[in-house]
Homo-oligomer: A and B are copies of this chain.
Amino acid sequence: MNLVNKQYLLASRPTGEPSVDNFRLVETPIPALVDGQVLVRNHYLSLDPYMRGRMNEGRSYAEPQPLNQVMVGGTVGEVVDSRSPQFQVGDQVVGMGGWQQYLLVDANQRGVLQKVDSSQIPLSAYLGAVGMPGVTAWYGLLKVIAPQAGETVVVSAASGAVGSVVGQLARLRGCRVVGIAGGTEKCRAVVEDYGFDACIDYRQHPEPQSLAAALQAACPNGIDGDFENVGGTILDAVMLNCNAFARIAVCGMISGYNGEPIPMRAPQLILVNRMKIEGFIVSEHLPLWPEALKELGTLVASGQLKYRESVAQGIESAPAAFLGLLKGRNFGKQLVRLI
């Protein structure tokens, strides 16, 4: 084969809001495979909020994305060439293929590629509801919030790849579930498509007091659990409505990703309400992934767990799609279709 691989590198680090200029497209010839290597043609690239944190230089939970290297990212695809006995041409695989059309890897690296079966679950779902976002929802809801039937759970970024799964799993466990999302259309889908009991459009509540009042109305018994994807004034409004022994799973604080300070207004509520606030990163809980993926896969295959995708076409569309994701322009799991 004489293939060329289109790749996006991180060209520079953003100061404040990122732009398309932070990325650079390059074309790299793909060398012949050596023993143990596998070549995967990536079908879908997953775009996720965590990538924003990696673009910064500063200390975060993960190493910064190195400059002038291929942007990190989850992918699903198909093996198109193999010099490993573990993989055959035609195998469908999920892995961290990055922002590029092809992934060339040493298949002996443990866990670098996972075979998946698209007969009952669409290939792209392995990047969403049956992938990292789904497991993130599962872990934060079940292992941090650990809700009881009858409790009220609030989910911010409720229409997103993670939030929509959080709410559906909580409903299946008998909770009242209230979403927070941006815009009428998203809120409608959160209730009608994903079955949340209610959804609040934060754009209609620019003042924290107004948002807190809307939450109070939607949560007549108070809030017992919060799956926090946003932080900032949304978290403040949630905390004002928390019951004693409320649990907040901190999954994201997208409101602060560009470096603006986002103080927590009333931390004394942690004491007053004996709250637990816990941050987590799903990649640090790998032993629980099989259990989570089994439940999520079963629910998706049986149609009980619904999801939605925003698909951008072609590798060239990745930077703009990513910037749109950070502004909430996507609707459901943001993917880039690479074939």
Interface residues, chain A, CB within 8 Å of chain B?
59-61, 231, 235, 244, 250-253, 256, 261-268, 270-281, 284
Contact = CB atoms under 8 A, between A and B. Distances in A.
A208 B264 CA distance: 16
A308 to B, nearest CB: 25
A281 B272 CA distance: 9
A280 B270 CA distance: 9
Nearest to A269: B279
A271 B59 CA distance: 12
Contacts of A275: 277-279
Closest 6 A-B residue pairs measured CB to CB? A263-B263, A264-B264, A271-B279, A264-B267, A270-B279, A276-B278
Grouping DSSP codes into helix (H, G, I), strand (E, B) and loop, the A interface class, with mixed when no group exceeds half, is loop
A266 B261 CA distance: 7
Given A267-B253, A267-B263, A268-B253, A273 B61 contact: yes
B274 A279 contact: yes
Nearest to A277: B277
A273 B263 contact: no
A166 to B, nearest CB: 16
A59 B242 CA distance: 12
A33 to B, nearest CB: 38
B277 A284 contact: no
A61 B274 CA distance: 8
Contacts of A264: 263-264, 267
A41 to B, nearest CB: 35
B268 A265 contact: no
Most buried by B among A250, A268, A274: A268
B270 A281 contact: no
A279 B266 CA distance: 13
Given A261-B265, A263-B267, A274-B281, 17 more contacts: A61-B273, A235-B267, A250-B271, A253-B267, A253-B268, A256-B268, A261-B266, A262-B267, A264-B264, A270-B279, A271-B279, A272-B279, A273-B279, A274-B280, A274-B284, A275-B277, A276-B276
